[in-house]
Amino acid sequence: MACSRNDPRIDYHMDENTRMSDKSGTTANTVWHAHKICRHHREFLNGQRACLLWFTGLSGSGKSTIAGLVEERLHEQRKLTYLLDGDNVRKGMNGDLGFTDADRIENIRRIGEMSKLFVDAGVITLSAFISPFRSERAAVRDLMREGDFIEVFVDAPLDTCEGRDPKGLYQRARSGEIKNFTGIDSPYERPDAPEIHVVNDGSLSPREVADQVVGYLRQRQFI
Amino acid sequence: MACSRNDPRIDYHMDENTRMSDKSGTTANTVWHAHKICRHHREFLNGQRACLLWFTGLSGSGKSTIAGLVEERLHEQRKLTYLLDGDNVRKGMNGDLGFTDADRIENIRRIGEMSKLFVDAGVITLSAFISPFRSERAAVRDLMREGDFIEVFVDAPLDTCEGRDPKGLYQRARSGEIKNFTGIDSPYERPDAPEIHVVNDGSLSPREVADQVVGYLRQRQFI
């Protein structure tokens, strides 16, 4: 997004020393200058490059946990982050949406649009949603500016995820109480070429896995 | 929003030194601890208290201009801000909405929900929408936590606003090309008790008006 004083989003400009003495606001004496604060100013202030870390994976793969640990590590380094997940999105912004195909698409669209604003705010934005379909992940990627979307595939075998089952959802899916549950009776489409692929099958601690994500950000100079 | 490790939004906790060696994730050895980064951590990091500055007023009253100048002043003080306005909201998140009564309500609801997340992110959030109806401003206030919503009434006489008419909208409303235009053929309900009431009729420069808003934030120790 442009940020100079020529930013087309600025309707009028206002000079520091100019009073709006003329009602019309259109004479040469009342040209306005607002030095609009933009993404680049905020990134400079925060000492980071903003991006969207899009965590995808099965329920129980550890998306939220790893994302939370990445936030913690980044916070230690005085980086500003924000995590969008089912807790703060489904209960608020997307509380009006159900689980039909149309609602799923709208759910992801709104999360994408919100993420875009957070990235514009200069924030390293994390999201943790199963997002099982390539098409929905591609839709968010397409919304974002080139290089802003970082797909993080949290890869764990189904039986590991089912064994963890922190919310008891697999059990309910196996019993037929929940329909269309990803991994059971609805597919999870593995990312073809995620920017980051971490394996969270228990061979590394979640913190070690999170450090792989942080390492990527450091290597690519986001932080 | 709670932020301790007892935060109910944390489904499971993960200890720094614990490996997920047990598939079930439920034994005493695999209790997880994630020290979830929350609003208060981010506010501390940013050296500010977050809030929502809700600018309301007629088209041409100077909402966006004043908000932009407030951002500029705050940025000079290394405070993190984000401005939600027609440019970044109507074209993105709310691009699917028109101007029916139902769509207006949904428009404001989504802006309120987004603002809530930005405030939770520790950001001093500004919004600049005419928001002519008391009910819609009250709806956003109700969404926010007590003390987080700061209504900023940008007060300028209709003829001043119409004289400025930076987008030529009053002219189009007068000619009948635009219907239901606030101030012309649709009411603007003045705030009864806004937290901040600034007069932007040309007697002060926009920067002086913006400084009144910044002064309020300083006085109330948001910054």
Task: Go through the domains of chain B in sequence order and give each one's CATH number.
Answer: 1-36 (no CATH), 41-219 (3.40.50.300)
Cβ separation A36–B159 shorter than 8 A: no
Hey, is B124 helix, strand or coil? strand
Residue of higher predicted confidence among A12 and B87: B87
Residue in B with minimal Cα distance to A144: B92
Residue of higher predicted confidence among B71 and B105: B71
Exposed / middle / buried, residue B106 (Cβ in 10 Å: 0-12, 13-18, 19+): middle
pLDDT at B91: 86
Q: Residue B139: phi, psi to the nearest 5?
A: -65, -40
The answer to whether the CB of B165 falls within 8 A of the CB of B171 is yes
How confident is the model over A114-157, as pLDDT tens digits? 999 999 999 999 999 999 999 999 999 999 999 999 999 999 99
If we measure between CA atoms, which residue out of B181, B128, B179, B121 comes closest to residue B154?
B128
CA distances (Å), origin A176, targets A59, A171, A173, B160: 16, 9, 5, 65
Return d(Cα A115, Cα A150) in angstroms, integer: 12
pLDDT band, residue B31 (cuts 50/70/90): very low
Cβ separation B12–A65 shorter than 8 A: yes
Hey, is B35 helix, strand or coil? coil
Taking CA A40 as the corner, what is the angle to CA A35 and CA A45, rounded to the nearest 5 degrees? 95
The answer to whether the CB of B53 falls within 8 A of the CB of B70 is yes
Please give the helix or strand (H or E) that residue A116 lies within, else none. helix A101-120
Cβ separation B34–A122 shorter than 8 A: no
Q: Pick from B18, B32, B80: which is nearest to A46 by CB?
A: B80
pLDDT band, residue B70 (cuts 50/70/90): very high
pLDDT at A215: 98
Handedness of CA A122, B3, A89, B11 (dihedral sign): positive
Cβ separation B163–A24 shorter than 8 A: yes
Distance, first Cα to last Cα, chain B: 20
Residue B15 has pLDDT above 90, yes or no: no
Residue in B with minimal Cα distance to A20: B202
Please give the helix or strand (H or E) that residue A6 lies within, else none. none
| Tokens matching residue A104 | 């799923």
Mean pLDDT of B6-23: 32
pLDDT at B20: 33
Q: How many CB pairs under 8 A join A and B?
A: 170
One-letter amino acid at A49 equals R
pLDDT band, residue A101 (cuts 50/70/90): confident
Cβ separation A121–B117 shorter than 8 A: no
List residues of B with catalytic annotation: 131
Mean pLDDT of B24-37: 46
Return d(Cα B6, Cα A5) in angstroms, integer: 46
How confident is the model over A182-220, as pLDDT tens digits? 999 999 999 999 999 999 999 999 999 999 999 999 999
B125 beta partners: B52, B82
Cβ separation B114–A117 shorter than 8 A: yes
One-letter amino acid at B105 equals I
Q: Pick from B71, B121, B164: which is nearest to A24 by CB?
A: B164
Handedness of CA B57, B59, B61, B62 (dihedral sign): positive
Hey, is A75 helix, strand or coil? helix
Catalytic residue list contains A203: no
Q: Give me the percent of chain A exceeding a pLDDT of 70.
A: 84
Residue of higher predicted confidence among B32 and B154: B154
Is B98 known to sit in a ligand binding site?
Answer: no
Mean pLDDT of B203-208: 97
How confident is the model over A2-46, as pLDDT tens digits? 454 333 233 323 332 233 333 333 333 333 444 589 999 999 999
The answer to whether the CB of A116 falls within 8 A of the CB of A143 is yes
Q: Count the residues in chain A.
A: 223
pLDDT at B35: 56
Mutate to test the interface with B, among A80, A105, A155, A171 (most CBs of B within 10 A): A80
Mutate to test the interface with A, among B35, B76, B91, B117 (most CBs of A within 10 A): B117
Q: Pick from A68, A113, A123: which is nearest to B34 by CB?
A: A68
The answer to whether the CB of B56 falls within 8 A of the CB of B152 is yes
Could you give the ipTM of this predicted complex? 0.84
Return d(Cα B46, Cα B41) in angstroms, integer: 9
Cβ separation B82–A11 shorter than 8 A: no
B-chain CB neighbours of A82 within 8 Å are 42, 117, 120-121
pLDDT at A100: 85
A155 beta partners: A199
A153 beta partners: A56, A197
CA distances (Å), origin B216, targets B44, B148, B151, B213: 20, 13, 12, 5
B-chain CB neighbours of A204 within 8 Å are 19
pLDDT at A35: 56
The residue assigned the tokens 């792989």 is A212
One-letter amino acid at A2 equals A
Return d(Cα A96, Cα B158) in angstroms, integer: 37
Return d(Cα B116, Cα B120) in angstroms, integer: 6
How confident is the model over A158-180, as pLDDT tens digits? 999 999 998 899 999 999 999 99
Q: What is the mean pLDDT of chain B?
A: 86
pLDDT at B87: 85
The answer to whether the CB of A63 falls within 8 A of the CB of A155 is no
Residue of higher predicted confidence among B20 and B221: B221
pLDDT at B8: 29
Mean pLDDT of B207-215: 98
pLDDT band, residue A87 (cuts 50/70/90): confident
Shortest Cα–Cα distance, A160 to chain B (Å): 6
Return d(Cα B204, Cα B160) in angstroms, integer: 13
Which of the 8 DSSP states describes residue B15? Answer: -
Q: Give me the percent of chain B exceeding a pLDDT of 90.
A: 77
